[in-house]
Amino acid sequence: MILSIQNVVKQYGKHTAVDHVSFDVPRGSVFGLSGPNGAGKTSLIRMITTITGPDEGAILLDGEPLNERTPEQIGYMPEERGLYKKMKVGEHLLYLAQLKGLSEKSANQEIKYWFDKFEINDWWEKKVEELSKGMQQKIQFITTVVHKPKLLILDEPFSGLDPINTTLIKDEIRQLNAAGTSIIFSTHRMEQVEEMCDHIVLINQGKNVLYGEVKAIKNAFKENLFRIETADDLPGDFDRHFQVASRPDGAVVVQLNEEASRSNELLRYLLQHNIHVSRFEEILPTFNEIFIRRVEETQN
Amino acid sequence: MSKLKLIIKREYLTRVRKKSFIIGTLLAPVGLLVYFLVIVGLTKYEGGSEVKVAILDEAGIVGAIPDDRGVRYIPAPDKTLDQLKTEVLDGQYDGVLLIPALATLKQKSLTVFYYSDDKLAPEKRQFIEKRISDKVRDFKIDSLRLDRASLENLETDVSIDPESIAKEGADESKYTIGVGLAIGGIMAFIMFFMVMMYGQMVMRSVMEEKTNRIVEVMMSSVRPFQLMLGKIIGAGAVGLTQVLAWIVLGGAVMFLMPFLVDIDPQAMQPPPGAAAAAIDPEMAQGEAFRMFQELGKQNWPLIVGSFLIFFLGGYFIYSSMFAAIGSAMGDDYGEGQALVLPVTIPIILAFYIVAFVGIRNPDSGLMVFASMFPLFSPIVMPFRMAFSPPVWQVVLSLVLVIGSSFFFVWMAGRIYRVGILLYGKKVTLKEIGKWLFYR
């Protein structure tokens, strides 16, 4: 485990922002931290990044309780990006890298590496305010990763990015992850969770309402729906053998009962009746649906 | 390098490199120089062209008057008033001065007539009045057969010279108070100005970091207290740099002054009339010498040393309050005014105490209290320093100001760490008070 959240509580005055939340982030994973706005995501992140401390419970990074060396091992990109507008890009990066514990020399080297990688070597002397928004986002990303953190926390990393930069940052995230960096990916955009994450925790009203491996959760929430696409007409007694859930434009969606072998039964039936199948797939619930379902369930 | 040092370095360098800082630092002494040059130029200004005045001295009171300060006195004893009037119209004279006879030697006032269609400048009019008055006085002395030398002996210049009883030998002159007021006033003003300017600079900088959201990135690298303290120290160092630059540049300007303009002591005098007892040039030089002597007598190491400590103390107290307020404010400076006011009022009050009470009596009860109270003392005590207050009061005041600056920085840190991450909420003073007790 790279990160372990153990029964953490955070209160602001009378408001409980985080209410006995526990979860583990496996080493090397891309971990989705999601929940509606105001669920307590930022409060959690602020505790992990040691900006604030928990009122109860414990947080372990790499097996160690959070301490004064923790910030150097974490890279955090907040949802609301910010840089010193009047500073020169090179100086700005040097400053933040040194605050993350790098020596001036190694900070210079690291920044150079990223400048080469993004092909922005002529930006060093430019003031931040002279850059376009997309360019500033690149700089912001470099500030987050320049000190080679063990754990990267990205809060809505793609908000405000154009498709080109989104792809660029996505690729960088994947590369960093492949190189062993664990990543916490905070978002309420479920399609991004599905695309990027292997593990997830869903927070609502300060509570952990769903937690686990993305595949496992999808399986747990599946309704045994199968979609058949065919040009042929189905035999008349098909409805007596199988429960048809819906017929969206030409296709047939069938709801099977719990046993997994029932899908083979369905296939066998189609073969026996010489139905030409162009497509056969299990419909898994989207995370969006799971998200909304869980949020509604916990709200009641 | 430690994080605090890095923060201080950045806060210092970004400000010192700013054009506005460089211009402000260089321009203030140049402004001072220009000011002096203008003053000297103005006092040297002769007030227009020469005026030719014909004197019609009916009773022979005034006699010949030497030309002086742009007025030429031309006796015209053989001509009539009407003749002279036409000559004025012809342009031979600018005007005719008719001096009537005195009715009696006891006459206390004399009206002299000036015939001309041009207005006589007020300054020239004063010159002429003074000259004629002197001549009439001479005339009266001669007519009464008085002894001129004895009369001059009657005039005595009186001044009070304060002498200390306890500290015998510590010679104070009438210049001590004047010089003290000047030094104290300047120090109080610099203090007021610097605390206001740099305190607000810290506040704006905190607000800026909060509104452009860099603070969230910063907080994930450093402790809020480190960032706040680094900012306060960095900006304070900028303030010190500016003061030192002004002292050096100002000193250079003062040193260069005599070479740039030859200051005519006479020209520096107030205009005649206002100063019937015009100081003669030698006396004026004597005054300047005495003034310098008095400046030399001040305990400069003590004054400068304690000024610096009070500056730091006052600066830390106020800038930390400004930082706390800045952290609680959103991007709307207008809405935040209600929070700023409680911080600026004590500074202004301290300045008023100096301006209205201190100048009249630097050792009054209110002044003694104000020079102890940490919110006032950084401005009030330096003012009193020039009047040699009791040592125990200075020491107590220093201890209080140093202790309080630690307290205020600590308190501001507690407010700052909550306020800086709080968005979209209008904060009241009461709420800020609650933050002090958050865990």
Question: What pLDDT, on a 0 to 100 scale, did the predictor assign at position A220?
Answer: 84
Question: What pLDDT, on a 0 to 100 scale, did the predictor assign at position B154?
Answer: 81
Instruction: Read off the pLDDT of residues A61-104 as tens digits, 9 standing for 90 and up.
Output: 999 999 988 999 999 998 888 899 889 999 999 999 999 999 99
Q: Does A83 touch chain B (CB under 8 A)?
A: yes
Query: Widest CA span of chain B, in angstroms?
Result: 103
pLDDT at residue B278 greater than cutoff 70? no
Question: What six digits make up the tokens of A109?
Answer: 């080297």
Higher per-residue confidence, B439 vs A11:
A11
Query: Which of A34, A81, A101 lies closest to B216 in space, CA to CA?
Result: A81
Amino acid at B430: K
The whole-number average pLDDT for the span B261-283 is: 48
Instruction: Read off the pLDDT of residues B337-361 as tens digits, 9 standing for 90 and up.
Output: 788 888 899 999 998 998 888 888 8
| pLDDT tier, B33 (very low <50, low <70, confident <90, very high otherwise) | confident
Q: Do A193 and A156 form a contact (C-beta atoms < 8 A)?
A: no
Q: Do B397 and B375 form a contact (C-beta atoms < 8 A)?
A: no
Phi, psi of A243 (to 5 degrees): -90, 110
Higher per-residue confidence, B263 vs B422:
B422
From CA A50, how far away is CA A74, in angstroms rounded?
Answer: 10
From CA B252, how far away is CA A189, in angstroms rounded?
Answer: 66
Question: Are A50 and B220 inside 8 Å of each other by CB?
Answer: yes
User: Which A positions 262-291 lie with beta carbon below 8 A of chain B?
Assistant: none
Instruction: Read off the pLDDT of residues B63-106 as tens digits, 9 standing for 90 and up.
Output: 777 777 777 787 777 777 777 788 877 877 788 888 887 777 77
Residue of A61, A84, A89, A145 to mutate when probing chain B, most B C-beta within 10 A: A84
Question: What residue ranges do the domains of chain B occupy?
Answer: 3-35+173-435, 51-147
Q: Does B219 touch chain A (CB under 8 A)?
A: yes
Q: What is the pTM of this model?
A: 0.75
* Sequence ranges of chain A with CATH classification 3.30.70: 223-283
What CATH number labels B51-147?
3.40.190.10
Question: What pLDDT, on a 0 to 100 scale, did the predictor assign at position B98?
Answer: 81
Question: Are A99 and B219 inside 8 Å of each other by CB?
Answer: no
Question: Are A82 and B215 inside 8 Å of each other by CB?
Answer: yes
Instruction: Read off the pLDDT of residues A199-244 as tens digits, 9 standing for 90 and up.
Output: 999 998 889 888 999 888 888 888 888 888 988 888 888 888 888 8
Question: Are B214 and A84 inside 8 Å of each other by CB?
Answer: yes
Q: Does A133 touch chain B (CB under 8 A)?
A: no
Question: What pLDDT, on a 0 to 100 scale, did the predictor assign at position B226?
Answer: 92
| pLDDT tier, B432 (very low <50, low <70, confident <90, very high otherwise) | confident
A36-40, A66-70, B114-118, B380-384: least confident range: B114-118
Residue of B6, B7, B214, B423 to mutate when probing chain A, most A C-beta within 10 A: B214
**How would DSSP label each residue in A175-208?**
HHHHTT-EEEEEES-HHHHHHH-SEEEEEETTEE
Amino acid at B138: D
Walk across the sheet containing A182-187 and list its strands.
Answer: A74-77, A151-155, A182-187, A30-34, A199-204, A207-213
Question: Are A82 and B222 inside 8 Å of each other by CB?
Answer: no
B9 to chain A: closest CA residue: A95
Question: What pLDDT, on a 0 to 100 scale, did the predictor assign at position B257?
Answer: 64
Q: Does A95 touch chain B (CB under 8 A)?
A: yes
Walk across the sheet containing A243-246 and list its strands.
Answer: A243-246, A252-255, A225-230, A277-283
A207-221, B266-280, B298-312: least confident range: B266-280
Question: Are B222 and A87 inside 8 Å of each other by CB?
Answer: no
What CATH number labels A223-283?
3.30.70
Question: Are B14 and A81 inside 8 Å of each other by CB?
Answer: no
Amino acid at B341: L
Phi, psi of A279 (to 5 degrees): -155, 135
Q: Do A98 and A104 form a contact (C-beta atoms < 8 A)?
A: yes
Q: Does A51 touch chain B (CB under 8 A)?
A: yes
Question: Are A76 and B213 inside 8 Å of each other by CB?
Answer: no
Question: What pLDDT, on a 0 to 100 scale, did the predictor assign at position B292?
Answer: 66
- Tell me what the pLDDT averaged over chain A comes to: 89
Counting beta carbons within 10 angstroms of the beta carbon of residue A96, is it exposed (0 to 12), middle (13 to 18) or buried (19 or more)?
buried
Higher per-residue confidence, B67 vs B389:
B389
B315 contacts: CB under 8 Å, gap ≥ 6: B194, B195, B198, B199, B232, B236, B239, B378
Instruction: Read off the pLDDT of residues B160-182 as tens digits, 9 standing for 90 and up.
Output: 776 767 655 555 555 667 777 77
Contacts of A49 in chain B (CB under 8 A): 219-220
Contacts of A99 in chain B (CB under 8 A): 3, 6-7, 218, 221-222
Place of tokens 């030309």: B67
From CA A110, how far away is CA A93, in angstroms rounded?
Answer: 10
What CATH number labels A3-218?
3.40.50.300
Question: What pLDDT, on a 0 to 100 scale, did the predictor assign at position A110?
Answer: 94
For residue B115, what are the β-bridge partners? B96
Residue numbers of chain A with a pLDDT score lower than 70: 259-261, 300
Question: What pLDDT, on a 0 to 100 scale, did the predictor assign at position B110?
Answer: 82
* DSSP annotation of A121: G
Question: What pLDDT, on a 0 to 100 scale, did the predictor assign at position B273?
Answer: 44
Query: Which of A250, A259, A202, A254 lies closest to A229 in space, CA to CA?
Result: A250
